Chains A and B, each alone.
Chain A
Amino acid sequence: MIKAKQYTCIGCPIGCPLQLQHEGKNIAEISGYECDRGAKYAKQEFTDPRRDMSTTVEIIGARWKRLPVKVTGPVEKDRVMEAARKIHELRVRAPIKLGQILIEDFLGQKDIHVVACRSMERIN
């Protein structure tokens, strides 16, 4: 049975309304796009939607109480809240260097890490 999913393309401000028709996991047709960014986006969103993630973790001994961190690769969309909860369990201590790996192979993904987005000196 053919089902349809709707997406809004995020490639540019036009935001083409996309329709993706599928049968189970097989894509039948994608329509509504003005350029092929739309087609690519709809396909990705259907087969493996992912999101960039950044948040903060607690840091001790620095100027601010929080250290901005990010995941170095996009996280599965359905695991975003779980990812946030896991990251928020972290507590780090200054000094920290930009790019420092805080959690390796995050959520079981090889070579995707949680890293610091800035350096923070130790301040007493």
Chain B
Amino acid sequence: MNDERRTSNAERQASKLLRLLLAIVNVGSRLAPPSRRREWRRQWRADILHEWQWLTRHPRGAGDRAGLFVRAAGALRHAFWLRLHVRRLEMITQDLRYGWRLMVRKPGITAIAVLTLGLGIGANATVYSWIESGLRRPLPGVVDPDRVVVLDGITGTRDTIALSYPDFVDYRAHRPAGVDDLIAYTIVPMSLRIGDESQRVWGQLVSGNYFEMLGVRAGLGRTFAPEEDRTPEKYPVVVLSHRFWERHFDSDRNVLGRVVTLNSHAFTVIGVADAAFRGSEPYLSMDLWVPMMMQPTAMAGDRLSARGATFLQTMVRLKPDATLARVQADLDVIGRNLAATYAEDRDRSVRLYKMWQAPGRSGAVTLPSLTVLMAFAAVVLLIACANVANLLLARAVNRQRETGVRLALGASRRRLVQQLLTESALLAAVGGLAGVVIAFWTTKLLSTLVPPMPIPIVFEPSVTAPVLAFTLLATALSALAFGLAPALQHSASSMLSALKASAASVTASPSRARMRRVLVVAQVAASIVLLVSASLFMRTLRNAQTADPGFSTRNGLLASIDLAPAGYDEAHGRAFYRDLLTRVRTIPGVEAASLAYRVPLLFWTTGDMRVQIDGYIPAPNEDLIVDSNRIGSDYLRTMGIGLVEGREFTDRDTAGAPDVGIINETLARRYFGGRSPIGGHIRVGTRIVEVVGVARDGKYTWITETPRPFLYISALQWFHVHSVLHVKTAGNPGALVSAIQQQVRTIDANVPLFEIRTIGEHLQIATMLQAQLAHMLGAFGALALLLAMVGLYGVIAATVAQRTPEIGMRMALGATRLNIATLVLKQSLGLTLAGVGLGLAGAFTITRLFKTLLLGVSATDGVSFVGTAALLILVSLLATYLPARRAAVLDPTQALRQD
């Protein structure tokens, strides 16, 4: 009985304690943030009740209940912690939701802002995608591309030159400790026959370690085995590119072991390279790879053993800890040893370059243009940001009361800034998304702008992960750029004035109006800089397109011929060429016809020859290297190249007759001094060429090159299975294509005629880079102009709205409509002129930076400067027209009544 009472007493006490514990939880739940309150309470109630029951059933000692009490007190700390941490997260969601509602409520303004940002960000993403594909990752599929560098031969006069195979072997055998491996390769056009069909393919002749060094695996089959690169012409094997395999073998897995005919020799397909790999030349996509030992078959003429036969590009893979400078020093030692040992290597050495720095290669060639593009894309984005900032400032007017209320309710300035920045970030995010969509589209467009070419160019910038990362960065930066100033300015307004404010008085807030004007002036100035630059590049493009390449660009037709598939030997080939020219010349409408091994202005030099000129004594470390081409009879007349002296080649300048050459004016001037070069002798290897004519200088590789020595030799004396038929026609050259094809078929139906194009089309290739640059900058300039004008329009329209009562008053006091329109116009013109002045000064400073990229136009070209200024002022008048008109037609009684 007593016991019972004691128990129930204890129970009562216990249940009192339990109630207290649960009360703590109830009170504590007030501390927890509302969104988590229920869950928090549920968790703590359940845990405490469970523990209570546990302790009741398994008592541990006297301290049990007290311990539970201490633990329950921790609930308060938990609730408080949640309040601090969850609140922060919730605030952001709240701001985002609010920002979203604002954006949706004003779809017009939002659309303009998003589109503006999208264009700005899209422009940057597009340029960056080009940088990414052309400079940062120019060789897809290569493992650790950062460690792969270019090794160029250099001569005593510091010109870059290819390496010979024996030199490559020596450099590889004695490679310094910092070098993992060395590869050599060269690009060779070959003819491939599958079944009955033959076609021109672009292959690379590569050293046996090529794939291994680049880290490229075979997607199917295997790559080259070591023994396939030891004995000349022993293993005719070929590895196909994935793309080529897909297109020409329908991805047939049974292609392994198949025999294909390359340059009329049977080759066995041993593998297909990894899908990502395109070859070791940026911007080019190779069709297949053949081991170096097959060089004589692939190129005609054995060059493997001659140390003077420089035809190889080389690349080095550095060890992870190697530095360029250290390896260079070691290579210099090897170079000196080789120079001391071999006469051919006298005054030769090698130089290492990072992929994008190697002179004459695509990286170094495109880098200046890409720098200009990237800088201007950034300017476009800045202009876009200024526009959005302007929009936000205009909107801030309407939100002034809201700010006042928030401040009155106790919001901190930090909180206000945070909210406004969240809204900016949201806007930027949507803009960034639009930018990505635009970039997807523009990168596609860019790759379609490449004219069709006789070389397998791949220009496929695309929106990859790094491009997206870059876009994200650009988006974040622009959110700050256009959001920070309005946010700070906005939150700085005092609560009282904000609450009292009417729309008009707020707009008049001097600092805000000043900021908007400054933004517009900056926009106009920046677009002037862009437009002037765009205009300079447009003129450069025009000049490049109309530049005198030294040959006639009208009514010319080119068509490539390949005699290899039909199995011609040299004697029969010569007969074919002679027969072909005779027949083509008889086609009505053909004025002249000839052959050449090479077409001018195709970006790379394949005709470099080391020569000795009788009567000219080279300086101690001068290496006489001249560019050359093999041409047929009547070539100069066909191409419209002037003959200064002597004669052209004729059909009699063939094998057996003395070797003849035609030199250009620069060669004549530089190496023959005052003497007449006619009858002079030039030694090419073991052959002696007699100069029979002097031709006018022309452009041979690049449209922008400076005059250089050039030697023409006779195609009939230096036979090659590949050549290009050149035809000059009286009228439209396109009309003669089928007649020419007919003649070729008559002689031999097995000889393919391909890559038929007019010289005009061909020249588009030569000016491609200038065209890309000019077109993109033109687009940027137009975009900048449009954005600046939208900005100007916005500011003027806002001023007119704000000054409506004042205008009404003026009209009431007798101002005419013209007076009012002039008033508005003056203000607009003031802003524009300030911007134009600043912009011209800026352009004057900036355009000198890319002087070297211009052709035939000065960096301070008056026409571009004045024209741009005039254009901008004109367009600014258009942008002012609407607001000025609105002001002029105001009804004074209405205007005065407003506000």
User: Are A and B interaction partners?
Assistant: no
